[in-house]
Amino acid sequence: MTIAEYIANQLFTVGVRYVFGIPGGPSIPYMEAFRNAGIEFILTSNEASAGIMADVTARLTGIPGVCHATFGPGATNLSTGVGGALLDRSPVIVLTSEMSNTMINRTTQMNIDHQKLFEPLTKATFRMNPENVAEVMASALKLCRESYPGPVHIGLPDGIYDIEISNTSTQEVISKNIYYHNNIQKVISLLENSRRPLLAIGLTAARLGLKEKILSLLVSFKIPVILTPMAKGLVPEYHPCYTGVLFHSLSDYLEDIYEKSDLVIGIGYDPVEINYETWMPDVPLLHFDLRETDMPSDLDVTQFIGQPEDWFSILKNLNAGALLFDEAVIKGIRDEMYSVFNGFTNHFGPAAALRVLQNELPEDTVLTSDVGSHLHLIGQFWNTFEKGKLIMTNGWSSMGFGIPAAMAAQIINPEATVVCVTGDGGFLMMAGEMVTMKRYNLPVIVVVFSDGELNLIKVKQSWKEIPAYGTMLYQSDLFDADIFLGIKVLRANSADAMRKAIIDALSLNEPVIINATIDPEDYKWLIVRR
């Protein structure tokens, strides 16, 4: 096989069926190799979208996502999506064209050092050559999936694609295993002596699919549970132990629970979302993870490093007879939060718009949310109904995430109802992807919360008693027509109009934009300071 054929073959063998990106001239042979191998090249409007789509594809399938860009500006654009895969913990293979050996150190058009560019954004970066092809592919596919999973970059020098590979044998890729000495007696002592423990469940637990193990634990031990945003859905919102989501809307109400705890038990909690010290009371922390995590020196931390089977085995040492749990208190806090939220639904703001969405969309909807004020409300108050899925970015938190995330979700689940909720700022960043959506006939419903401003920045300015500045996006209407880049635009300026727009959108088998012109005043009351 040629180098291009070998790369395509290796990707197909591990289950890759899509490569996302924008090609350059040197990309052509690789695209042809992908096509011949049964891998579809999905052309995006922006390379950042390609990285996000590879990230979300990996999350949904467990198979490495793959993205590609050309020299220089293609690579720098792609890096935004690659950073998301790093800090949202998704296995991704990042391919970029690079200058040939004769030009790599020359002053020439579009030439930058891709290894230096991607080094801080990936778990590893390689420059391929005819002698290391098999080794690089084996290493990249292994490294990207090891914990924590993340992106691995491979630079493809111009002109090597058609060189035949004579040796495809590789040395075994050996992982660097670091042994961690768990203080078992201290862990057991903390569990046995705790009278008011609290479970804090995070991104790692969600990524490992620990829902059933967690629910089984809660059958035996009635412990209050708080989630980080990306763990949303691991514990059903109606579960008697469920309290809410950290950092998102009205999460200050959760202080009534965690301030009374005497032990915080982190299960697959990844501080990349929210550092413990941001919210934790002055009590011991017992942190269960796959690898040792950096912690502040002034935190009383005991870490237990191992596999989830080991975590849940030792958690059986919790003292069930001593647990002080009042289900009515948890329910009371939840009810109070929802009462406050529902108090903002008497006018057409984000709370009213979200309530209509929740009522009208199927329970198994896949919802993607962009970054912005609306995400704080969605993260706390969107009900996944166990059947649905909420996809967001929190480790990376890049605006523009929602639309490409929804496209990837629709490609992976063609029969699913996929909805993206984005602010107008996030929409403007990725508006060109509406053409991509139409090209591939992806029937995503894009709901734009239009308020004409970068509201989250405006809210944070108000916290500092600074007048709004540099946050206005436009005046008048974001969409001056009923068609945007060939896609139908439905309008909603009231709850009834929103309801009709959703019903109409669900009846169409094509991409649709719902322009929801909302009153943003809700946000300053519903978003909590961090």
Q: Which residue has the tokens 């934009």?
A: 513
**DSSP secondary structure of 416-449:** S-EEEEEEHHHHHHTTTHHHHHHHTT---EEEEE
125 touches 115 (CB < 8 A): yes
In what side-by-side order are the strands of the sheet with 40-43?
A: 40-43, 18-21, 65-69, 92-98, 151-157, 124-127
Residue 386, phi-psi category: left (phi > 0), alpha (psi -120 to 50), beta (remainder): left
CATH class held by domain 343-526: alpha beta
Residues of the chain with CATH 3.40.50.1220: 184-331
Residue 467 CB coordination number (10 Å): 7
Say what the pTM is.
0.95
Q: Which residue has the tokens 């990042």?
A: 94
| Cα–Cα distance, 77 to 430 (Å, whole number) | 12
**DSSP secondary structure of 117-152:** HHGGGSSEEEE--TTTHHHHHHHHHHHTTSSSP-EE
Residue 486, phi-psi category: left (phi > 0), alpha (psi -120 to 50), beta (remainder): left
Is domain 184-331 given the CATH code 3.30.2310.20 in the classification?
no
pLDDT in tens, the chain (530 residues): 999 999 999 999 999 999 999 999 999 999 999 999 999 999 999 999 999 999 999 999 999 999 999 999 999 999 999 999 999 999 999 999 998 888 888 888 888 999 999 999 999 999 999 999 999 999 999 999 999 999 999 999 999 999 999 777 777 667 766 778 999 999 999 999 999 999 999 999 999 999 999 999 999 999 999 999 999 999 999 999 999 999 999 999 999 999 999 999 999 999 999 999 999 999 999 999 999 999 999 999 999 999 999 999 999 999 887 666 678 899 999 999 999 999 999 999 999 999 999 999 999 999 999 999 999 999 999 999 888 999 999 999 999 999 999 999 999 999 999 999 999 999 999 999 999 999 999 999 999 999 999 999 999 999 999 999 999 999 888 998 999 999 999 999 999 999 999 999 999 999 999 999 999 999 999 999 87
| Cα–Cα distance, 77 to 24 (Å, whole number) | 13
Cα distances (Å, whole numbers) of residue 275 to 271, 278, 295, 415: 5, 6, 9, 37
Residues of the chain with CATH 3.40.50.970: 3-157, 343-526
Chain-centroid distance of CA 67 in Å reads: 16
| Cα–Cα distance, 514 to 271 (Å, whole number) | 35
403 touches 420 (CB < 8 A): yes
CATH class held by domain 3-157: alpha beta
